[in-house]
Amino acid sequence: MTFRLRSMIFSRQVSRKVSDRWCRFRQTADGGDEAPLNDDRESVNVLSEPWCIHTAILLFIETIEGDKVSAITLCRLIINVMKRLQLTTAAIALVMGMFFGAMPIGAQAQSILNKIKSRVEQTATQKVLNETDKAVSKGMDKAIESATKPSQENTTGVDGVPTASVPDTVANKQTAITAFSKYDFVPGDSVLYANDFSGEAIGELPTGWNSNGSSVVVTLDGLPGQWLRMAQRTVALTDNEQPFGPDFTVEFDMVLQIDFQGWMPPSLRLGLLASGTESATANSLLSDPKGDKSFYLEISPLSDAANLMLESYEKYTRYFHSPSNRNTTASTWYGKSAHVAIQGQKERLRIWVDREKLYDVPKGIPKDGELNQLFFQLSSSPYKDEQIGVYIGNIKIAKGLPDTRHKLVEEGRFSTTGILFDTGSATIKPESAGVLNSIAAVLAQHPDIRVRIVGHTDAVGDDAANQALSERRAAAVKEALQAEYTIDAARLEATGKGEAEPVGDNQTAEGRAQNRRVEFIKL
């Protein structure tokens, strides 16, 4: 029997047995009740990985016992089982450490099975006991905390996946802007690509995109617009074909909704690549989205955190690697729209999610080649598709890195698409804080400068309504600079031009995104 076939059979047998035993273990831990765990779900999730390591190895040995295989083959088979179970890299390393710790050089696998069994029993048991203590302590803390906090209401999203409701009040939005005061992301000054999936058919892949799975456009309860729902075991490539240039920014919104049941959820990779001589939507990039160069952020969700990792490649050689790190604030991304921002400045790479800067890597992007594609990749997991909701929306890619001070002070005019508003309203989104910070800093350094703030809209909707909306948005920016940055009101004027002065083609998504802008004109 070939190694590939043997590996597939053993992986399926063992992962199925682990799944069955885990279900029985959860029922026993919950007093025999077959219903999903509630209050103890987080504790059981903490136990799941060491428990799976322990059970998987023992079941693997039971399955393979009596066969004559080499130690190397046995190690390769066990790694395949671990990957099929969606365990983390650290977990796989732990398993292999057990093997190599018990395995003398040149020994055959059959002669060390008993040693491995003993070591697995000791190591996994101690790990489970340690994690149990942590889980119980954490569970008590959470119970006390929940007793003093009001519960949040949830609504139901697509296919029954829960969606957290988000209050939309001016007070909440202004507080959010303040919370983003350290956010220093400023988008590029020329919109290259934009896609909010408006006009796309529900239940279909966006026009021009390529994918090897069933990712489709959907709507979400409680969130405006249309979204791309990622399917498990899928790579999705946008319809963009234009190069980003050496300096660029990428923005999009992400919603993660996971019905945590103790298993490791699928990992999400958010990345960019250079397709080289191939088309940016070539089928070859679906099997391995690396191209001439690439980088990606990998998010591995946990119930109360996420493991994050950043890697870049020059062709198929790894160029940069960050160790996987546990980010406890990642749990705040779940059940709502989280804003992702990426900035490339030649080799320098910076990534933010919501108000947090996750990475600032001086040499994170390989020099050669020009990035021209954004990709999303969702791995597989033991979860059913209806238990996993990963959504992407409001994509915008821009070229260049604006110099706010030079534009406003020297040239007398600064225009930005980086001040964002809720659809059809003058409520400023919190991710606008990076641009507001830069404008406020210039005005603080030059107290003699007065500016006129001019709002602009695209041509969607009624002319008069757009005119009024542009005026309200300019007034909202003026108010934010006064209230949040203490800029004297006497130095600020606000007016609106509606859709009267377009700078882009209103027939394209990119043109409309370029037209939705705010100008600052030196008086």
CA dist 204 to 209, 360, 474, Å? 10, 36, 37
Tell me the per-residue pLDDT of 21-49, one tens digit each, with 9 for 90 and over. Answer: 545 544 444 444 433 333 333 333 333 45
What is the rounded average pLDDT of the residues 246-255? 96
**Mean pLDDT for the chain?**
77
What is the rounded average pLDDT of the residues 373-389? 94
Using pLDDT thresholds of 50, 70 and 90, give the confidence band for residue 327.
very high
- Picking from 475, 518, 445, 421, the residue whose alpha carbon sits closest to that of residue 177 is 421
What is the rounded average pLDDT of the residues 239-258? 95
Kindly state the DSSP code that residue 220 receives in the 8-state scheme. E
Q: Which amino acid is at 70?
A: S
* Beta carbons of 61 and 54 less than 8 angstroms apart: no
Q: Is pLDDT larger for residue 106 or for residue 483?
A: 483
Using pLDDT thresholds of 50, 70 and 90, give the confidence band for residue 52.
low
CA dist 48 to 19, 86, 305, Å? 11, 12, 15
Domain parsing of the chain, residue ranges: 3-147, 168-399, 404-522
Q: Is pLDDT larger for residue 427 or for residue 169?
A: 427
What is the rounded average pLDDT of the residues 176-184? 59
Output b/e per residue, 249-276; b: 16+ Cβ within 10 A: bbbbbbbbbbbbbbbbbbbbbbbbbbbb
Using pLDDT thresholds of 50, 70 and 90, give the confidence band for residue 422.
confident
- Give the rounded percent of residues in the chain with a pLDDT score beyond 70: 65
| Residue 262: per-residue pLDDT | 86
Determine the Cα angle at 270 with ends 266 and 271, to 5°. 135
Relative to beta strand 356-361, strand 210-211 is: unpaired
Topology of 168-399 in CATH?
A: Jelly Rolls (2.60.120)
| Residue 139: per-residue pLDDT | 42
- The Cα 176–Cα 422 span in angstroms is 13
| Residue 404: per-residue pLDDT | 82
Topology of 404-522 in CATH?
A: 60s Ribosomal Protein L30; Chain: A; (3.30.1330)
The residues facing 495 across adjacent strands are: 454
Tell me the per-residue pLDDT of 198-224, one tens digit each, with 9 for 90 and over. Answer: 989 999 999 999 999 999 999 999 899
Most confident of the ranges 128-142, 422-436, 482-496? 482-496
CA dist 432 to 345, 420, 472, Å? 20, 6, 16
| Residue 409: per-residue pLDDT | 87
Using pLDDT thresholds of 50, 70 and 90, give the confidence band for residue 75.
low
Least confident window among 11-20, 388-397, 439-448, 495-504: 11-20
Using pLDDT thresholds of 50, 70 and 90, give the confidence band for residue 189.
confident
Neighbours of 121 (CB within 10 A): 13
Q: Is pLDDT larger for residue 116 or for residue 442?
A: 442
- The Cα 194–Cα 451 span in angstroms is 29
Is the pLDDT at 485 greater than 60, yes or no?
yes
| Residue 407: per-residue pLDDT | 83
Q: Is pLDDT larger for residue 254 or for residue 85?
A: 254
What is the rounded average pLDDT of the residues 387-400? 95
| Residue 431: per-residue pLDDT | 85
Tell me the per-residue pLDDT of 151-163, one tens digit each, with 9 for 90 and over. Answer: 333 333 333 333 3
- The Cα 270–Cα 235 span in angstroms is 10
What is the rounded average pLDDT of the residues 96-116? 46
Using pLDDT thresholds of 50, 70 and 90, give the confidence band for residue 184.
confident
- The Cα 78–Cα 96 span in angstroms is 8
| Residue 280: per-residue pLDDT | 95
| Residue 35: per-residue pLDDT | 37
Determine the Cα angle at 83 with ends 78 and 85, to 5°. 95
Q: Is pLDDT larger for residue 67 or for residue 217?
A: 217
| Residue 424: per-residue pLDDT | 85
| Residue 410: per-residue pLDDT | 85
- The Cα 133–Cα 154 span in angstroms is 31
| Residue 402: per-residue pLDDT | 78
Assigned token pair, 469: 């909306």
Per DSSP, the chain holds a count of helices (H) and strands (E) of: 11, 22
